[in-house]
């Protein structure tokens, strides 16, 4: 079954799914087992990360191509054929005792459905960002996981990167003084025909996929929620590639403390992702900022220049987030990036699109 057919069975499957007993944490020595849901490029990276982890392990696969992709990855990671499921068989994960959680690497518009279905069979959920395609969907996901007493974490891998954690420590210690402003952006080229250029699958354009990075970083570093926005939306490529979603967005936002930020994103530009954090006594700049490795931080801290190059190699950020979630499941702790974090980003994204005159919800 390809992605166009997902929705044909989705509504019936979701409506027929009963609530089950609460999820249980695995034993102290057993790795937390993940079912990879959707076997695209992002799930491929996550599975490679888990293959090198002592606490997180891929134990099942959910795919529309069980004989092709399913068998390929099963052979790579030692997964039995009985633990390969189609999307119609998703609820059978409930009976697989080696699966403690699901990792949802599906297109954005499918995050809500497959989170809800996982919660209703008692499985914890690690969901890729953006959390969903509307704040209403985010609230549904949070409530369903709360009702089922399963954990919900959004895969903000940057939160777990040591270089980004060092930036947070510098800011919290007053090393650059009081933050005054931010400038940030994330840009790439999306080729025609990819699911991210489909409004039905992606839910919107580059803000959901790329702009969310500087947006979330600013919210995370300041622990503030932006209150006012301006935005400009533009498409200069008239080849038809952007018939359903915008090419580029630039926006500004103001935080309650008075901090201001200027950000941009695009599916039609080539430039390194970056974030500049300006304090009244110093600054930090991350560039590249949002890639899977090679995060580079320079700045002036406590009156001295700094230059820090992250040494972790892909897919280590994915391993860090998987192991964090595994620890939360094992120790019954709240994830550092729970569903509420994804909801707050989506509320801001809706405000950005509204300010640009192209609401997505």
Q: Which two tokens stand for residue 4?
A: 């166009």
Give residue-wise pLDDT tens across range 130-146.
999 999 999 999 999 99
Kindly state the percentage of the chain with pLDDT values over 70: 92
In the predicted structure, residue 163 carries a pLDDT above the cut 60: yes
Catalytic, 213? Answer yes
Rounded distance between C-alpha atoms, residue 213 and residue 210, angstroms: 6
Catalytically annotated residue among 90, 160, 213, 267: 213
- Position 93 scores a pLDDT of 98
Confidence of residue 5 (pLDDT cuts 50, 70, 90): very low
Domain ranges of the chain: 3-155, 159-312+345-355
In the predicted structure, residue 13 carries a pLDDT above the cut 70: no
Give residue-wise pLDDT tens across range 276-312.
999 999 999 999 999 999 999 999 999 999 999 999 9
Average pLDDT over residues 164-190: 98
The pTM assigned to this predicted structure is 0.92
**Mean pLDDT for the chain?**
93
Rounded distance between C-alpha atoms, residue 310 and residue 292, angstroms: 10
Average pLDDT over residues 187-202: 95
Catalytic, 151? Answer no
- Position 28 scores a pLDDT of 63
- Position 292 scores a pLDDT of 96
Rounded distance between C-alpha atoms, residue 220 and residue 97, angstroms: 35
Inter-residue contact 342 to 186 (CB < 8 Å): no
Catalytically annotated residue among 129, 151, 267, 353: 129
Contacts of 200 (CB under 8 A, 6+ apart): 109, 244
The architecture CATH gives domain 3-155: 3-Layer(aba) Sandwich (3.40)
- Position 12 scores a pLDDT of 35
- Position 293 scores a pLDDT of 95
In the predicted structure, residue 21 carries a pLDDT above the cut 60: no
* CATH 1.20.1280.260 for domain 159-312+345-355: no
Average pLDDT over residues 328-351: 98
Average pLDDT over residues 234-239: 93
In the predicted structure, residue 10 carries a pLDDT above the cut 50: no
- Position 359 scores a pLDDT of 78
Report the alpha-carbon angle 223-46-151, nearest 5: 55
Inter-residue contact 201 to 3 (CB < 8 Å): yes
């Amino acid at each position: 079954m390809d992605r166009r057919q997902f929705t044909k069975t989705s509504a019936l499957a979701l409506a027929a799914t009963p609530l089950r007993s609460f999820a249980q944490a695995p034993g102290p020595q057993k790795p937390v087992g993940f079912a990879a849901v959707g076997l695209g490029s992002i799930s491929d990276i996550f599975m490679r990360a888990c293959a090198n982890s002592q606490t997180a392990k891929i134990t099942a696969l959910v795919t529309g191509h069980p004989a092709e992709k399913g068998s390929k990855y099963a052979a790579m990671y030692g997964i039995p054929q009985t633990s390969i499921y189609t999307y119609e068989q998703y609820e059978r994960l409930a009976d697989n005792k080696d699966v403690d959680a699901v990792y949802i690497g599906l297109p954005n518009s499918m995050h809500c459905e497959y989170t809800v279905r996982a919660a209703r069979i008692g499985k914890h959920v690690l969901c890729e960002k953006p959390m969903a395609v509307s704040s209403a969907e985010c609230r549904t996901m949070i409530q369903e996981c709360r009702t089922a007493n399963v954990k919900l974490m959004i895969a903000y891998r940057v939160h777990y990167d040591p270089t980004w954690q060092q930036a947070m420590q510098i800011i919290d210690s007053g090393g650059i003084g009081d933050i005054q402003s931010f400038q940030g952006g994330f840009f790439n080229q999306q080729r025609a025909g990819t699911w991210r250029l489909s409004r039905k699958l992606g839910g919107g354009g580059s803000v959901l996929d790329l702009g969310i990075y500087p947006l979330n970083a600013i919210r995370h570093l300041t622990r503030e929620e932006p209150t006012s926005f301006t935005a400009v939306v533009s498409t200069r490529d008239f080849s038809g590639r952007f018939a359903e979603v915008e090419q580029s967005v630039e926006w500004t936002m103001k935080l309650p403390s008075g901090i201001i930020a200027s950000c941009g994103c695009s599916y039609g530009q080539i430039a390194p992702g970056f974030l500049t954090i300006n304090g009244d006594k110093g600054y930090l700049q991350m560039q590249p900022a949002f890639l899977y490795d090679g995060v580079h931080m320079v700045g002036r801290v406590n009156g001295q220049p700094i230059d820090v190059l992250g040494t972790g190699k892909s897919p280590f950020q994915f391993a860090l987030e998987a192991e964090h979630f595994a620890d939360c499941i094992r120790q019954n702790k709240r994830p550092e990036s729970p569903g509420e974090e994804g909801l707050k980003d989506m509320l801001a994204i809706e405000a950005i699109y509204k300010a640009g005159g192209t609401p997505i919800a």
